[in-house]
Amino acid sequence: MKSTYLIIGTNAAGFYAMEELKKRDKKAAIIAVNGEPYLPYKRTKINKNFQPGKLDINAFYLAPESWYKENNITLINNDTVIHIDAEHKTAELNSGTVISWEKLLFAVGAEPFIPQRPAFTEAHTLRTYDDAQRLAKLLPGGGSCLVYGLGILGVETAVNLRKEGLDVTLAGRDKDLLLRYFSPRFRRIIEKIMLNHDIPIYYEVAPEGLLLEQHSFSFKQKGINHHFDCMVHALGIVPRTELARQTGLEVQRGIIVNEYMETSVPCIFAAGDCCQLEGDTITDLWHAAQHQGQCAAANMTGVEDPYRKHIHRLKTDLFGTYCFSMRPFKTSIPSSYQSIYSSLPTEVKRIFYVSQNRIHGVEMIGDKDRAKLYQKAVEEKWDMERAEQELG
């Protein structure tokens, strides 16, 4: 098989790279290798909409099957690339098919991080549609479930399992939940929401403290043993890099790319969770992978368009409370930013992160209908006077 562009992986980075390539090079022949049996779908919808009795992959698709045919995209489902010859520009699939290419994009994503301990190897993740199907089979009988991981995936998973009637406990190794996204003030609000819906939270529970005994899970804290029928863990990701290493690409934590998303080997690009940007950065957010895929695609067509780092939004709905975050930092507030808190009579709460009277970041709770305005305020760096006029 021959292609102008070969894309390995079809989630956020891969799909939006396809879309961008067709805009810029309408006649190009694109082949995309998808390791799953389904059409490309939005993985972040899985844990946000986890309803065991209503799992429908069709609701998660990024585009219908007809879109790929109309755009001259050959989508190869349920197959994987096992070898790449960078010199001769060929790729061999597990099925035996050999594909020639002119430009290649690694968009292979990442795997869940799984500590090599019995409790974790027997537990579940909720990252793919198949993960959701496996977990759904366990739930009709009810019971108790430990969600281990205090990031956004762990919090959203705990919320949705609780909605399904399970007795859910949230725990993790960190000292607090959602450390990357919210200030202590807002974390306390979110913690209260969880507790009010009968989800107890345990902090500083080390992975080695989780035990597996006859297919049940437990940990001990302050002298009290806590037991659970099942466990779901969400401890971050590990970029998929094995094929890149075999191909001869420079790899550290992820596949090293330059400002044009090109790897150490000419004509081979990488985007999304598998790639590592300057400063040892793995972005691990859907919209970051989307923008990287679009940037890689532009450069694959010959346009020199450097990747511009974005402040990506996080939005989530926790039992009807809308939470939104766009922060230009991950943990503590740099001294160059001023934190301005305000609340509205409608019980909306927000924090603007301001430097030289310009908004560089925001956290918000309860103002879902105007979320795009908050995003615009950060992206356009509004001054506080405009924020007060348009957002109250």
CA 55 → CA 45, 52, 63, 153, 231, distances in Å? 11, 6, 18, 18, 20
User: Which of 140-154, 260-274, 323-337 tops mean pLDDT?
Assistant: 260-274
% of the chain surpassing 90 pLDDT: 82
What stretch of H or E contains 111?
A: strand 110-112
pLDDT tens digits along 114-133: 999 999 999 999 999 999 99
pLDDT tens digits along 221-250: 999 999 999 999 999 899 999 999 999 999
**Mean pLDDT (the chain, rounded):** 93
**81 versus 329: which is more confidently predicted?**
81
Return the C-alpha torsion angle 273, 277, 282, 287, nearest 10.
Answer: -60
- Model pTM score: 0.91
What domains are there in the chain, each with its CATH number? 5-111+237-300 (3.50.50.60), 118-233 (3.50.50.60), 314-391 (3.30.390.30)
Helices and strands of the chain, counted as H and E runs: 11, 24
Average pLDDT value for residue range 135-139? 81
Q: Which long-range contacts (CB under 8 A, 24 or more apart) does 184-189 make?
A: 185/341, 185/351, 186/323, 186/349, 186/351, 186/363, 186/365, 189/349, 189/365
The one-letter amino acid at 89: K
Distance CA(175)–CA(162), nearest Å, equals: 23
Band of pLDDT at residue 309, cut at 50, 70 and 90:
confident
Whether the per-residue pLDDT at 78 is higher than 70: the answer is: yes
Whether the per-residue pLDDT at 206 is higher than 70: the answer is: yes
pLDDT of 140 = 66
Whether the per-residue pLDDT at 283 is higher than 90: the answer is: no
Whether the per-residue pLDDT at 168 is higher than 90: the answer is: yes
pLDDT of 358 = 96
What stretch of H or E contains 196?
A: helix 184-196
pLDDT of 360 = 96
- Burial status of residue 293 (CB atoms within 10 A of its CB: 0-12, 13-18, 19 or more): buried
Distance CA(353)–CA(341), nearest Å, equals: 9
Reading the block at residue 36, the tokens are: 């799953």
Distance CA(133)–CA(135), nearest Å, equals: 5
Average pLDDT value for residue range 83-112? 97
